[in-house]
């Protein structure tokens, strides 16, 4: 199964094969700013599943609480958040689910909520999702 996605303007396009390793929400303060929202919705896949098919995203390196780099990739034209590469999740690509085509942003079965300690007060815990307070 191939899943496709893009930024808002369509300059950056990507696809991935197969099922995600996990579907996740992230409540960390970096993701709140990067997503421009209370949290980010993500599909986490292995690097070898991911392929950019159009465009070259810009990137920004942020130092996470773990002391390791969180590389944020975004469209330099429209500013859409596209994906992340986190040193704490070596070998994985964290795709921002809002860019997935065909309504695939409606993630079902959220497996984990990262940085639950930073969850905003109006966002409730997803029933059945593992709650990770922060990366060590």
CATH number of the CATH domain containing 72: 2.170.150.70
Number of domains in the chain: 1
Q: Write down the pLDDT at residue 128.
A: 96
Looking at the domain assignment, is residue 84 inside a domain?
yes
Q: Name the residue range of residue 63's domain.
A: 2-131
Percent of the chain with pLDDT strictly greater than 90:
85
- Which residues make Cβ contacts (< 8 Å) with residue 114, sequence separation at least 6? 24, 25, 26, 27, 28, 132, 134, 135
Q: Is residue 109 part of a domain?
A: yes
Q: Look at 15 and 67; give whichever has higher pLDDT.
A: 15
Asked if residue 132 has pLDDT above 70, the reply is: yes
Angle 92-98-101 from CA coordinates, rounded to 5°:
95
Over the chain, what is the mean pLDDT? 94
Residue 97 lies in a domain: yes
- The confidence band for 136, taking pLDDT boundaries of 50, 70 and 90, is low
pTM: 0.93
- Which two tokens mark 71? 């590389």
Residue 136 lies in a domain: no
């Amino acid at each position: 199964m191939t899943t496709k996605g893009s930024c808002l303007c369509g300059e950056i396009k990507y696809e991935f094969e197969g099922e995600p390793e996990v579907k996740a929400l992230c409540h960390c303060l970096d993701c709140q700013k990067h997503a421009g929202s209370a949290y980010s919705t993500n599909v986490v896949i292995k690097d070898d599943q991911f392929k950019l098919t159009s465009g070259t995203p810009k990137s920004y390196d942020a130092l996470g609480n773990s002391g390791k780099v969180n590389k944020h990739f975004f469209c330099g034209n429209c500013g859409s958040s596209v994906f992340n590469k986190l040193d704490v999740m070596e070998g994985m690509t964290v795709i921002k689910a809002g860019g997935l085509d065909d309504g695939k942003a409606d993630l079902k079965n959220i497996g984990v909520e990262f940085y639950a300690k930073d969850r905003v007060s109006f966002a409730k815990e997803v029933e059945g999702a593992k709650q990770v307070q922060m990366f060590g």
